[in-house]
């Protein structure tokens, strides 16, 4: 049985409400909880039994290491053996927050937690519930995203319930995730940090603080293995087949119109994920060409917010992929973005969701 704990935004009682889930974690159980990036599925990072439960619940390959979550800096002493100067500066600047640091691990961290690697990934989340839960548990908390392996990461509690109800000991229901994409994973074992998974804390932001930041070439080059094992798996994938188009507004609108009409002929249902401005035009174009009954049945529109603010695209991305599935879309057409700033992380996830079907138009 999965225990569901509902948060009603009353911080006063957080200690009381989180007492039981913290106990479950301490005693080796699994608890799904909100963080600012996506929901996580937590277990005691130092207990092999807990780690086994996490892998089992998610159906996750055992060579894909977990991120260990902490609530205070001192907890690093039981996890990591070396922390260089730049790593310290970056932790000071971005923690608590949506960034994970890969460090040389200490022996106490089970190889099961790190997928057999001699490094450990550590994050101090910013979300008050996550921080309080880890603090009360009194142990470092390993937490991958709280989805079935391969599915889009969960950005609200219904996604978690959909994937993990009956498979974990407890689910904490909080608000929707503010960021919506998983944390930046940054290898800081060398002085010049390397991005292994792009996220909300961007290359530009890291360079501004320490003057240097590389991106793992394995993220782009299919001949090279990515340094972060998780990045090699098909991921973030809805059931529908995904097509991503990168180009200017007019080209996207034209392509979306063509594809909708083409797919409607074969009775395929299409999800369109695009900016509000694009959707308005596409809806009008389609109105003139498909009967209302047909377009209501075969076209599903998902807003990614305004093109002027890519943070809403990031926040809505996984939710929209899941909504398209829930509405039985056969194909999802998505407007891609430029790969700078947060666009780097968005395109990384879209590439995976689309299994590389990203077209320049
Ligand atoms: O925002 C997040 O990071 C969320 C929340 C819950 O904190 N967690 C999350 O965990 O996204 P997960 O397990 O879904 O992704 C962890 C990523 C994987 O790509 C994994 O391969 C990589 O981090 N990773 C973990 N340990 C690593 C290590 N020692 N070296 C390289 N990559 C590592
Ligand atoms: Mg994940």
pLDDT by residue (tens digit) across 180-191?
Answer: 999 999 999 999
pLDDT of residue 226: 83
Among 105, 144, 198, residue to substitute to test ligand 1 (most atoms within 8 Å of Cβ): 144
Does residue 356 carry a pLDDT above 90? no
CA 10 to centroid of ligand 2, rounded, Å: 29
Does residue 224 carry a pLDDT above 70? yes
pLDDT of residue 160: 98
pLDDT of residue 223: 77
pLDDT of residue 222: 77
Which atom of ligand 1 approaches the CA of 60 most closely? Answer: 13
What does pLDDT average to over the chain?
Answer: 95
Q: Is the CB of 213 under 6 A from ligand 1?
A: no
Q: Is the CB of 124 under 6 A from ligand 1?
A: no
pLDDT of residue 133: 98
Confidence band of 12 (pLDDT split at 50, 70, 90): low
Does residue 63 carry a pLDDT above 90? no
CA 7 to centroid of ligand 2, rounded, Å: 24
Q: Which residue has the higher pLDDT, 357 or 334?
A: 334
pLDDT of residue 234: 62
Confidence band of 231 (pLDDT split at 50, 70, 90): confident
Q: Please state, in angstroms and rounded to a whole number, the distance separating the CA atoms of residues 70 and 76.
A: 8
Q: Is the CB of 51 under 6 A from ligand 1?
A: no
Ligand nearest to the CA of 183: 1
- The pTM for the full model equals 0.96
Q: Please state, in angstroms and rounded to a whole number, the distance separating the CA atoms of residues 321 and 87.
A: 34
Q: Please state, in angstroms and rounded to a whole number, the distance separating the CA atoms of residues 126 and 71.
A: 9
Q: Whose CA is nearest to atom 20 of ligand 1?
A: 230
pLDDT of residue 8: 78
- What b/e string do you get for 331-346 counting C-beta neighbours within 10 Å, with b at 16 or more? bbbbbbbebebbbbbb
CA 185 to centroid of ligand 1, rounded, Å: 7
Which atom of ligand 1 approaches the CA of 143 most closely? Answer: 6
Q: Whose CA is nearest to atom 10 of ligand 1?
A: 144
Q: Whose CA is nearest to atom 21 of ligand 1?
A: 230
CA 293 to centroid of ligand 1, rounded, Å: 44
């Amino acid at each position: 049985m999965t225990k569901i704990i509902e948060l009603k935004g009353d911080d006063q009682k957080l200690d009381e409400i989180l007492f039981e889930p913290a106990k479950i974690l301490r005693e080796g159980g699994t608890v799904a909880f909100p963080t600012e990036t996506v929901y996580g599925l937590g277990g005691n990072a130092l207990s092999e039994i807990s780690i086994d439960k996490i892998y089992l619940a998610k159906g996750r390959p055992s060579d894909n290491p977990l991120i260990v979550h902490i609530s205070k800096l001192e907890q690093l002493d039981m996890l990591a053996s070396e922390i260089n100067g730049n790593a310290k500066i970056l932790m000071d600047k971005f923690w608590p927050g949506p960034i994970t640091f890969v460090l040389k691990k200490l022996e106490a961290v089970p190889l099961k937690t790190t997928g057999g690697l001699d490094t450990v990934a550590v994050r101090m989340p910013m979300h008050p519930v996550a921080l309080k839960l880890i603090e009360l548990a009194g142990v470092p908390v390993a937490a991958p995203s709280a989805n079935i392996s391969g599915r889009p990461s969960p950005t609200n509690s219904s996604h978690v319930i959909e994937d993990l109800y009956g498979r974990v000991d407890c689910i904490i229901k909080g608000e929707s995730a503010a960021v919506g994409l998983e944390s930046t994973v940054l290898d800081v074992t060398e002085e010049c940090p390397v991005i292994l998974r792009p996220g909300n804390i961007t290359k530009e932001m890291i360079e501004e603080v320490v003057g240097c930041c590389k991106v793992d070439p394995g993220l782009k080059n299919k001949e090279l293995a990515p340094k972060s094992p998780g990045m090699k798996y098909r991921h973030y994938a809805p059931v529908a087949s995904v097509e991503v188009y990168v180009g200017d507004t007019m080209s996207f609108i034209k392509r979306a119109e063509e594809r909708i009409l083409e797919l409607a002929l074969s009775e395929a249902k299409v999800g369109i994920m695009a900016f509000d401005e694009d959707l308005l035009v596409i809806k009008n174009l389609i109105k003139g060409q498909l009967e209302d009954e047909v377009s209501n049945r075969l076209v599903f529109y998902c807003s990614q917010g305004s093109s002027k603010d890519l943070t809403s695209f990031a926040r809505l991305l996984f939710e929209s992929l899941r909504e398209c599935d829930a509405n039985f879309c056969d194909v999802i057409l998505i407007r891609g973005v430029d790969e700078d700033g947060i666009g780097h992380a968005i395109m990384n996830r879209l590439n995976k969701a689309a299994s590389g079907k990203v077209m320049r138009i």
